[in-house]
Structure 1
Amino acid sequence: MKTIKFIVGFVAICTTLTATNALATAVQVGGFDATYTADDTWFKSDMRAGGTAEIVDLTGLGGNLETNQPLPTGVAKLTTGASNSDKAEVSIIRDGGHYGTIGDFLTGGMLSYDYHKQGAGDLNPSATAAIKFTVLDLNTTQSDGYTTFVFEPTWNLGTPGTSVVTPTDTWTQGTVTGSAGILWHTGLYGAGNLAGNGSNGNTLSDWVGVFGDDLLDAFIVGISVGVGTYNQGQTAFFDNVKYLNGAVDLAYDFQPSVVPLPAALPLYGAGLAVMGLVGLRKRKAKVAA
Structure 2
Amino acid sequence: MIHFSLRQLEYLVAAAHHGGAARAAQELHVSQPSISKAIAELESLWGERLFVRLHARGLELTAAGAVRVRQARAVLRQAESLQAPRAVELVGRLRVGCLSTLGPRYLPDILSRLRMACPGIEVQLVEGDTETLTHQLERGALDVALLYDLGLARGIRLQAVAQLQPYALLPWGHALTRQPRLRLAELAREPFILIGLPHSRDYFLSLFRAVGVTPHIAHESPSMEMVRTLVANGLGVSLLTTRPARDMGYDGKRIACRELQGSLQPQTVTLAYPGEGDQQPALTQTFAQTVSDCFSRHNSGRLGSEGAKN
Kindly indicate which of the two structures has a greater share of residues assigned to strand.
1
| TM-score (ref. length: structure 1) | 0.21
Kindly indicate which of the two structures has a greater share of residues assigned to helix.
2
| TM-score (ref. length: structure 2) | 0.20
Pair member with larger Rg: 2
* Structure with higher RCO (Cα < 8 A, 6+ apart): 1
